[in-house]
Chains A and B, each alone.
Chain A
Amino acid sequence: MDGDKFCSADSKAPCASPVQRLSSAMIGALLFINAKGEIILDRKYRDDYNKASVIANKEAGRNPVKTIGDTHFLFICVSGMYAVAVTTGNPQCATCFQFLHQVVNLFKGYFGDFSEESLRNNFVLFYELLDEVLDYGYPQNCSIDVLKMYITQEGDKSAAADKAQSQAVTIQATGAISWRKEGIKYRKNELFIDVIENCNLMVSNKGTILRNDVSGVIQVKCYLSGTPECKFGLNDKLMLDNEAKAKKPGAAAPAAKKPGSGIEIDDVSFHQCVKLGKFDIDRTISFVPPDGEFQLMSYRITENVNLPFRVLPVVKELGRTRLEVNVKIKAMFTFKLFATNVVIKIPLPKNTAQANVSAASGKCKYEPAQGGITWKIRRFPGDTEYFMSGEVEMMSTMGDKQWSRPPIVMDFQVPMFAASGLHVRFLKVFEKSNYQTIKWVRYITKAGSYQHRI
């Protein structure tokens, strides 16, 4: 960087290298492409690109950046549709991807889902949105609540030249608290909190745990009047320690604290409405929430994760053409809870001829299209064990590669269970009018990537 060369704004700084490249989030154009590779909609902001080359390169593979000639295509894939940012410069790549996701979310917020059909049906409004979110390739305001105020289907109303309101809107559109408008009113003030945890597990074929962590998000649905200030408390270890110290400043004994009462959060990130300064000082999470649904925070925990399930597989190769499979699944959570939609996929070699499988509960069968045995258990009570066993016969083939033994993959949902042990201790709402708020908290643990090697 030769940033040090610039000492003052008005001095004409000498430039050593004539072309010093700056990164800038310049997006030349946005494209929306369906699974077949046809462009459904495009909006150019600055550069021209070769449309034919986009179509020809529809099998882009999984690498999210693709270069054709001088043009770079950064794309994301959401439910079979591709959103593509086109650029010829050197933009901040994270910004581009984040922006694309934001645009897709914006679209979902407006039209329900992001699909070819809804895109085709709503292109006029979508053009309007695209016009606002980017100006000459620079991201502007993408906050859905603000945009909803002045981009609506009823263009007539805003054109009715209610000047004062229009003025307010434009100030809002660029203002500081861009996520919440004034004067929201609800008859019933409600707040829903969803703690959604994705539990990731990887166990080696010897049964040792290689990786075990939880990545969670806290999703909030907020229907509150006015400009409420919310305070949110978790059983975060650091925060509990702080509170303990504050209560009895004389007896500074962290040992007095009950073990296991707090959890260690490795890392958190927050929605832009959270006052980060305050969090850094005393770990309290306070914020003025946007209206409607948003993701308040996301976190990652690696210590003391309570595994919801243990998988105990035995896969034995009996000679070249036979295989014996025994799998035991144990639910580790309390008997009061139950898991739903438990699916266990046990891979089998490609040359499997037939498989006789049986399970004490749930549906268990060999599905050649899935490349293995699928075992479905609709309801899995806590603190129980289920077994399945099977015998597999394979066709003998010549000179084939060794079977790569892919892992057993598990999918499940456990309502009212948080694998990390995190829970919401309190949530306070402060508002001038001091209304009653009804609060709801739900927990759910889902399988992230839950894999057990065999």
Chain B
Amino acid sequence: MATTAAPGQPPPPGGVVIEHKKGEVNELKAALRNPALDRDPEKKRDVIKRVIAYMTLGIDVSKLFSEMIMASASKDHVVKKMVYLYITTYATANPELSLLAINTLQKDCRDEDPMTRGLALRSFTSLRLENTKEYLPSVVAAGLKDSSPYVRKTAVIACIKLHRLAPEALVQNDAVNTLYNMLRDRDALVVSNCISALNEILQHEGGMAINKLIIHHLLNRIKEFNEWSQCVVLDMVARYKPETQQETFDIMNLLEERLKHSNSAVVLAATKVFLNLTQDMKAVHAQVYARLKAPMLTLMTGGVFEQGFVCLKHIALLTSRSPAVFAGDFKHFFCRYNDPVCVKVLKLEILTTIASVSNVQEIVEELSEYVTDTDNSVARGSVSAIGSMGVKVPEMAGIVIDALMKFVGYDITDVSAEAVICMQKLLRKYPVHADKILAKMPDFLRTIDEPEAKKALLWMLAEYGHVIPEAPYLFEPLVEGFSEETSQAVRLELLATATKLFFRRPAEMQAMLGTLLDEAISDASFTDVHDRAMLYYRLLHYDVHKAAIILSRGGTVDGPYVEEAPSELADKIFEQFNTLAVIYGEPAERFVTDERALSSVNAAAAKAAAAKAAEIEADVAASTGQASAIIKGAGNVAAIAPFSALLKAELMS
């Protein structure tokens, strides 16, 4: 339909609707050409308004370009603004005709009214046309020296646009130095725009250079800045490293009151400053966390949903670095019934991180309520959160296991499955609690059907085969069901369990293992299963005792799980505090691809480099693809190779 076509694109040909609209565009054209229009400003405004209305609807009105340019000569502000909006939208589609507008724009840039000057300058630099290059530098330079702050702040931003269009023109103008000088401008908005501009223009060298003088100058004036500008300034301060400790404290004292600002953006920006400044001072850093707690909680609970969400994400980040700070306030993170799912999941994550001996019991009680939540991810999430808390706080593992046992009885497929998976994790770390779980094993095996959970159960069966008297008999029906099992993972686990159990209960297992290996080797539906069966078979055939050494090693874990250890990634995200990176939980490099190409000094060169990189990447991808194909093609031999290497190493030792 015509109404959804983007402006600037010609409407698709044909169609009655479009014919009709075309008629209206022609009508407008006639109206604009009517000389009587100039005598009636009211009517003229109405006509132009209609043009803009069509533009908003997505109807192509680029045909009216020359008429609209004529209209720009008007004295009427509203008309001017509309015409400029029109021109900036359609200029790229009509580069030739746009030249006609340049004259008017240049004239308006010298108008005596500062509003007009600012407006013209803004529109002029937004044209994005090659042929405006020669005019722009002088206009921008004049704007930077203008007496009105309104024009100056527009001109500063115009520098960025010029930088995108013609970086070399900016160098000739010595604009960067001018901008540095303008940091001392009387007007606060001009200053903050200068910072934004320098940051963007100098992005290839890490943004605007800062020193003590500049930072102090900005900090002393911070109260003059409006809320958005304060964010810009604070972002700069966050990059600054004070020379002495005293200076750090001075800055923090000065900025402390910013934490009481009603604008969450300012609060988060100030938070970033505090965190960055104290990064090397352990004790103070900890204090800072405590100080930030109250404002963060306020932001989270009060105000609008989005703000709360952003804030929760940041709290999640903070707690991952310093869990103890929010440990006492765990009740704030209890979910409300009508919280959106994404918030609930986030709260579960935070609760898991801040769990400690003192609060686990209450948190577990609370989370037990969410297990019956209508949303699956919340229900499962709360079970796995309870499990993780048990892993984290050894003293409370008993309570956690009790809760998990209860969930299995709830008869909600996902919940019971997740509970069993959690039990496996707990047992890997704390084998002392095995008795409780193992007693219920027969029940579990009967009810649980989900592949992941089944795997967990099989693992437990194998590890504790010597403790559970009826283990082989529990295992028997599962062996019989091997051929109907559709999950490859479960099949692999069945093989492993059978072998492990064999070493523990050889008499009862021998026949079963034989049948299972036989079945697995003769069934070729999963290559991996087949290969694994072959491996076990050969291993057992080669030397049963050595096979026993290799295969029946205990599976307990002493240290922390890998996921719990602090990672480089987390540090990187922390550096990008108060940006989208925190929301995604990924550093900016992973999701910003476009900026790099656009920001470099020489955009074209960068683009070429990017293209080259893409090429190389494609090559690599292709070659790895080939490699994997080769491995697959080689079949059994290749797949077994790594195993046999391992085997050798083990036998040597």
Which of A358-366, A402-410, A422-430 is near enough to bind chain B?
A402-410
Chain B residues with Cβ below 8 Å from A135 are 122, 153-154, 157, 193
Assess A88 versus B113: contact at CB under 8 Å? Given A64-B305, A404-B374, A453-B369.
no
* Interface of A, helix, strand, loop or mixed by DSSP: mixed
In the bound complex, CA of A55 to CA of B4 (Å) = 9
In the bound complex, CA of A241 to CA of B257 (Å) = 21
Assess A300 versus B302: contact at CB under 8 Å? Given A15-B205, A161-B113, A167-B114.
yes
Assess A62 versus B262: contact at CB under 8 Å? Given A15-B205, A22-B207, A211-B332.
no
Chain A residues with Cβ below 8 Å from B337 are 406-407, 409, 451
Task: Tell me if A269 and B115 are in contact (CB < 8 A).
Answer: no
A210 within 8 Å of B (CB atoms): yes
Task: Tell me if B193 and A138 are in contact (CB < 8 A).
Answer: yes
Task: Tell me if A297 and B262 are in contact (CB < 8 A).
Answer: yes
Task: Tell me if B580 and A213 are in contact (CB < 8 A).
Answer: no
- B404-440 CB mask vs A (1 if < 8 Å, else 0) is 0000001110000000000000000000000000000
Which of A186-194, A243-251, A276-284 is near enough to bind chain B?
A276-284
- A9-52 CB mask vs B (1 if < 8 Å, else 0) is 11111010111111111100000000000101100000100010
Q: Which of B75, B310, B410, B596 contacts A94 (CB 8 A)?
A: B310
- B197-230 CB mask vs A (1 if < 8 Å, else 0) is 0011001111101110110000000011011100
- B332-343 CB mask vs A (1 if < 8 Å, else 0) is 101011101111
Chain B residues with Cβ below 8 Å from A171 are 148-150, 187
Chain B residues with Cβ below 8 Å from A266 are 294, 297-298
Q: Please count how many residues in chain B sit with their CB below 8 Å of the partner chain's CB atoms.
A: 127
A95 within 8 Å of B (CB atoms): yes
Cβ < 8 Å to B, chain A residues 62-115: 62-65, 67, 70, 72, 74, 76, 87-95, 97-101
Cβ < 8 Å to B, chain A residues 218-249: none
- A185-224 CB mask vs B (1 if < 8 Å, else 0) is 0000000000000001010110000110101010000000
B263 within 8 Å of A (CB atoms): yes
B618 within 8 Å of A (CB atoms): no
A174 within 8 Å of B (CB atoms): yes
B461 within 8 Å of A (CB atoms): no
- B128-159 CB mask vs A (1 if < 8 Å, else 0) is 00000000000000000000111101100100
Task: Tell me if B260 and A268 are in contact (CB < 8 A).
Answer: yes
Task: Tell me if A140 and B153 are in contact (CB < 8 A).
Answer: yes
Q: In this complex, what residue of B is CB-closest to A13? A: B209
Task: Tell me if B596 and A19 are in contact (CB < 8 A).
Answer: yes
Task: Tell me if B77 and A159 are in contact (CB < 8 A).
Answer: yes
A433 within 8 Å of B (CB atoms): no
Chain B residues with Cβ below 8 Å from A175 are 149, 187-188
Distance (whole angstroms) from the CB of B130 to the closest CB of chain A: 17
Which of A87, A135, A404 is packed against the most chain B CB atoms within 10 Å?
A135
Chain B residues with Cβ below 8 Å from A167 are 114, 148
Q: Which of A91, A143, A269 contacts B580 (CB 8 A)?
A: A91
Chain B residues with Cβ below 8 Å from A150 are 115
In the bound complex, CA of A38 to CA of B204 (Å) = 38
B583 within 8 Å of A (CB atoms): yes
Cβ < 8 Å to A, chain B residues 42-95: 45, 49, 52-53, 56, 75-79, 81-82, 85
Task: Tell me if B261 and A89 are in contact (CB < 8 A).
Answer: no
A183 within 8 Å of B (CB atoms): no
B482 within 8 Å of A (CB atoms): no
Task: Tell me if A3 and B240 are in contact (CB < 8 A).
Answer: yes
B6 within 8 Å of A (CB atoms): yes
In the bound complex, CA of A32 to CA of B588 (Å) = 26
Chain A residues with Cβ below 8 Å from B256 are 280
Query: How many pairs, one residue from A and one from B, have CB atoms within 8 Å of each other in the complex?
Result: 342
Chain B residues with Cβ below 8 Å from A1 are 238-239, 241, 276, 575
Chain A residues with Cβ below 8 Å from B82 are 124, 127
B303 within 8 Å of A (CB atoms): yes
Task: Tell me if B412 and A64 are in contact (CB < 8 A).
Answer: no
B331 within 8 Å of A (CB atoms): yes
Q: Please count how many residues in chain A sit with their CB below 8 Å of the partner chain's CB atoms.
A: 120
Assess A97 versus B310: contact at CB under 8 Å? Given A167-B114, A173-B150.
yes
Q: In this complex, what residue of B is CB-closest to A277? A: B257
B364 within 8 Å of A (CB atoms): no
Cβ < 8 Å to A, chain B residues 213-272: 213-214, 223-224, 226-228, 231-232, 235, 238-241, 256-258, 260-265, 267-269
In the bound complex, CA of A90 to CA of B577 (Å) = 11
Assess A19 versus B204: contact at CB under 8 Å? Given A41-B56, A267-B295.
yes
A356 within 8 Å of B (CB atoms): no
In the bound complex, CA of A150 to CA of B305 (Å) = 33
Q: In this complex, what residue of A is CB-closest to B333? A: A211
Q: Which of A18, A170, A276 contacts B118 (CB 8 A)?
A: A170
Distance (whole angstroms) from the CB of B112 to the closest CB of chain A: 6
Chain B residues with Cβ below 8 Å from A64 are 305-306, 309
Chain A residues with Cβ below 8 Å from B315 are none
Assess A295 versus B262: contact at CB under 8 Å? Given A123-B53, A279-B257.
yes
A385 within 8 Å of B (CB atoms): no
Task: Tell me if B303 and A272 are in contact (CB < 8 A).
Answer: no
Task: Tell me if A402 and B411 are in contact (CB < 8 A).
Answer: yes
Task: Tell me if A8 and B592 are in contact (CB < 8 A).
Answer: no
Task: Tell me if B262 and A271 are in contact (CB < 8 A).
Answer: yes
In the bound complex, CA of A34 to CA of B268 (Å) = 30
Q: In this complex, what residue of A is CB-closest to B241? A: A4
- B173-205 CB mask vs A (1 if < 8 Å, else 0) is 000000010000001111001001001100111
Chain A residues with Cβ below 8 Å from B302 are 215, 217, 298, 300
Chain A residues with Cβ below 8 Å from B267 are 94, 269
In the bound complex, CA of A266 to CA of B334 (Å) = 19
Q: In this complex, what residue of B is CB-closest to A169? A: B115
Assess A269 versus B262: contact at CB under 8 Å? Given A127-B52, A163-B112, A174-B189.
yes
B594 within 8 Å of A (CB atoms): yes
Task: Tell me if A70 and B150 are in contact (CB < 8 A).
Answer: no
Q: In this complex, what residue of B is CB-closest to A9? A: B209
A270 within 8 Å of B (CB atoms): yes
In the bound complex, CA of A239 to CA of B411 (Å) = 56
Distance (whole angstroms) from the CB of A289 to the closest CB of chain B: 14
Chain B residues with Cβ below 8 Å from A445 are none
In the bound complex, CA of A136 to CA of B340 (Å) = 33
A131 within 8 Å of B (CB atoms): yes
In the bound complex, CA of A149 to CA of B98 (Å) = 32
Task: Tell me if B369 and A25 are in contact (CB < 8 A).
Answer: no
Q: In this complex, what residue of B is CB-closest to A124? A: B49
Task: Tell me if A269 and B153 are in contact (CB < 8 A).
Answer: no
Q: Which of B269, B306, B334, B412 contacts A401 (CB 8 A)?
A: B412
Which of A123, A174, A300, A453 is packed against the most chain B CB atoms within 10 Å?
A174
Which of B53, B77, B372 is packed against the most chain A CB atoms within 10 Å?
B77
Q: Which of B112, B199, B304, B594 contacts A76 (CB 8 A)?
A: B304
In the bound complex, CA of A380 to CA of B274 (Å) = 49
In the bound complex, CA of A90 to CA of B584 (Å) = 11
In the bound complex, CA of A32 to CA of B264 (Å) = 23
18 A–B pairs (Cβ distance < 8 Å), ordered by A: A13-B209, A20-B203, A24-B199, A88-B594, A92-B269, A93-B580, A93-B583, A94-B269, A136-B157, A150-B115, A155-B45, A155-B81, A215-B301, A266-B297, A276-B258, A279-B257, A298-B298, A298-B303
- Across the A-B interface, the 4 shortest Cβ-Cβ residue pairs: A155-B78, A170-B150, A62-B340, A276-B257
Which B residues are within 8 Å of any A CB, using their own CB?
A: 4, 6, 41, 45, 49, 52-53, 56, 75-79, 81-82, 85, 112-115, 118-119, 122, 126, 148-151, 153-154, 157, 160-161, 180, 187-190, 193, 196, 199-200, 203-207, 209-211, 213-214, 223-224, 226-228, 231-232, 235, 238-241, 256-258, 260-265, 267-269, 276, 294-295, 297-298, 301-307, 309-311, 331-332, 334, 336-338, 340-343, 366, 369, 372-374, 410-412, 575-576, 578-584, 588-589, 591-596, 599
7 other A-B residue contacts (CB within 8 Å) besides A269-B261, A453-B369? A4-B241, A7-B211, A138-B157, A140-B193, A163-B113, A171-B148, A269-B295
